[in-house]
Amino acid sequence: MNPAVLTLHDAGEKLRKHELSSQELTLAAFQRISETDEKIHAYITLCRDAALEQAKQADERLKRGGNPPPLLGIPIALKDIFVTEGVLTTCGSKILGNFVPPYDGTAVKKLKERGAVIVGKTNMDEFAMGSSTENSALAVTRNPWNLERVPGGSSGGSAAAVAADQCVAAFGTDTGGSIRQPAAFCGVVGLKPTYGRVSRYGIIAFASSMDQVGPITKDVRDCALMLEAIAGHDPADSTSADRSVPLYRQALTGDIKGLRVGVPKEYFITGIAPEVEQAVRDAIRLLVKNGAVVEEISLPHTEYAVAVYYIVATAEASSNLARYDGMRFGHRAGGKDLLETYMLSREEGFGPEVKRRIMLGTYALSAGYYDAFYLKAQGVRALIKRDFDAAFQRCDAIVTPTAPTTAFKIGEKIADPLQMYLSDIYTISVNLAGLPALSLPCGFDADGMPIGLQIIGKQFDEATILRLAYTYEQATEWHRRKPSL
């Protein structure tokens, strides 16, 4: 058995018991990558030498014993949106095709301090804009369960790498579903924490008011351990919350008796695949069987979420992406003067989806349109938040499908942005409201593609959704299935 198939907590136990070394584990991950990544293309950059050095150091720390942190010696992958000192960081874009950052972001620093081994940087939709990873300027990532299908996006590389055991666990980012939707498509667990739970310093910005870092893992326990490692206040991120971080692993009690679970009626109407609905309804029944109390709830403004999101997110993006001007880093075209250099650098450097969103966002903020678009969208966003507040008066968590369908075919939606946008219909509201939400496997469709169950929690109540997810996972076998590659 290749030890890279292990979960983080199993591998960690073997490391601490000295039944396995980090170097063996890391080499095993690279072995797995060399066997499978030609098919999957999960990675943009591999950090083999640095990873083996980190593994060696981890082995030394493990030898000293004590109480090593859970991630010590564990090979993990990072979405290429994480700024890594000295390591190419493209954000899936040609405009950063040559960008080697001079600093590490806060999450990366924490991971290094905790002794994690960074295997490489994974593929993603350019600037995290997309739901299939097809918008990457560098590669097309394939779903390990079916190479003709997309892995989801934008953290498609991270989800595929975890599903294909090319690493033990990975991190992604989620602005409108970019962790949860690919986790669902690839049959793994993905968690988007509460906005402010994890520092955004060193995460290349897409939509600053919604971007959030989170883990993609093989099971729920791993997810809890990964979140513990990176959560917490960061003075370098003014939007990070100054609140203590609980030991999430302690939430994994298996006891959900009396927990009130809401099921929003608006999430089971349009466009949902029957097999997905069936799997989610079955999952809800299982929760009830384990002691949860389920009731139907209403989130009346759900239908506006996609529209609001594509105004707010694109407005912020249009400004966040202004810095890619070819002046200080990244791609610079040879223009005859300043204006032409700006225009050609951005023309050549950005892909079509990024340009589309920059234009949408620029328009939404323009004089004369600001009130009608941006301001109106912020108003509706507040209403969507209020829907959740009201719902959480009556329940402790909300359960929905993660995506309306299972992974679609590569090329199927790329020509139709609106169809693509709708694949995030169940995940987007959560980002608008700043809530935590998790996706975990809850079945497979007739084509053998994984289905994801989404559990949404109250602000800063990741513990409850982890507890629910863990209980469900303990009662099912979905997470143990592996794609055949």
DSSP 323: G
Distance in Å, CB of 315 to another protein, minimum: 6
Binding mask 359-388 for another protein (x = CB under 8 A): ---x--xxx--x---x--------------
Contact 15, 62 (CB under 8 A): yes
Tell me whether residue 203 or residue 398 sits nearer to another protein (CB atom).
203
Of 179, 188, 198, 207, which lies in the binding site for another protein, with binding defined by CB under 8 A?
Answer: 207
Of the residues 79, 121, 192, 413, only one is catalytic, namely: 79
- Annotated active-site residue 240? The verdict is no
Of 27, 128, 161, 204, which lies in the binding site for another protein, with binding defined by CB under 8 A?
Answer: 204
Cα dihedral 42, 46, 50, 55 sign: positive
Distance in Å, CB of 457 to another protein, minimum: 22
Q: Look up residue 184 and give its two tokens.
A: 């669902």
Of 209, 290, 419, 464, which lies in the binding site for another protein, with binding defined by CB under 8 A?
Answer: 209
- Annotated active-site residue 17? The verdict is no
Please, which residues have CB within 8 angstroms of residue 284's CB and are 6 or more apart in sequence?
261, 263, 294, 399
Of the residues 22, 131, 154, 345, only one is catalytic, namely: 154
What's the burial of 5, exposed, middle or buried (CB within 10 Å: 0-12/13-18/19+)?
A: middle
Contact 251, 460 (CB under 8 A): no
Total of chain residues touching another protein, rule CB under 8 A: 42
Measured CA to CA in angstroms, residue 177 lies from 138, 184, 470, 471 at distances of: 21, 10, 21, 23
Cβ-based neighbour number of residue 75 at 10 Å: 32
Residue 200, interface with another protein (CB under 8 A)?
Answer: yes
Residue 102, interface with another protein (CB under 8 A)?
Answer: yes
Give the β-pairing of 293-297 and 260-264: parallel
Binding mask 11-50 for another protein (x = CB under 8 A): ----------------------------------------
Tell me whether residue 137 or residue 220 sits nearer to another protein (CB atom).
137
Stretch that binds another protein, among 220-228, 284-292, 319-327, 409-417 (CB under 8 A): 319-327
What backbone torsions phi and psi does residue 354 show, to the nearest 5 degrees? Answer: -65, -45
Measured CA to CA in angstroms, residue 129 lies from 10, 65, 107, 132, 479 at distances of: 34, 43, 21, 9, 28
Residue 87, interface with another protein (CB under 8 A)?
Answer: no
Report the distance separating Cα 9 and Cα 4, nearest Å: 12
Of 77, 91, 128, 276, which lies in the binding site for another protein, with binding defined by CB under 8 A?
Answer: 91
Report the distance separating Cα 437 and Cα 88, nearest Å: 30
What backbone torsions phi and psi does residue 213 show, to the nearest 5 degrees? Answer: -85, 145
Q: What part of residues 105-134 is at the interface with another protein (CB under 8 A)?
A: 105
- Backbone dihedral region for residue 477 (phi beyond 0: left; psi -120 to 50: alpha; all else: beta): alpha
Stretch that binds another protein, among 287-295, 327-335, 393-401, 414-422 (CB under 8 A): 327-335
Please, which residues have CB within 8 angstroms of residue 448's CB and are 6 or more apart in sequence?
145, 146
Residue 203, interface with another protein (CB under 8 A)?
Answer: yes
Contact 397, 430 (CB under 8 A): no
Distance in Å, CB of 145 to another protein, minimum: 32
Tell me whether residue 81 or residue 397 sits nearer to another protein (CB atom).
81
Residue 325, interface with another protein (CB under 8 A)?
Answer: yes
Residue 235, interface with another protein (CB under 8 A)?
Answer: yes
Amino acid at 155: S
Of 33, 96, 299, 438, which lies in the binding site for another protein, with binding defined by CB under 8 A?
Answer: 96
Q: What part of residues 331-360 is at the interface with another protein (CB under 8 A)?
A: 338, 342
Of 103, 303, 347, 352, which lies in the binding site for another protein, with binding defined by CB under 8 A?
Answer: 103
Tell me whether residue 278 or residue 378 sits nearer to another protein (CB atom).
378
Amino acid at 122: T
Residue 239, interface with another protein (CB under 8 A)?
Answer: yes
Tell me whether residue 205 or residue 403 sits nearer to another protein (CB atom).
205
3-state secondary structure of 104: coil
- Annotated active-site residue 154? The verdict is yes
Of 315, 391, 395, 453, which lies in the binding site for another protein, with binding defined by CB under 8 A?
Answer: 315
Report the distance separating Cα 161 and Cα 69, nearest Å: 23
Distance of CA 218 to the CA centre of its chain: 13
Please identify every residue annotated as catalytic. Answer: 79, 154, 178
Which residues are near another protein by CB under 8 A? 83, 89, 91, 96, 99, 101-103, 105, 200-205, 207-209, 235-239, 315-316, 318-319, 321-323, 325, 327-329, 338, 342, 362, 365-367, 370, 374
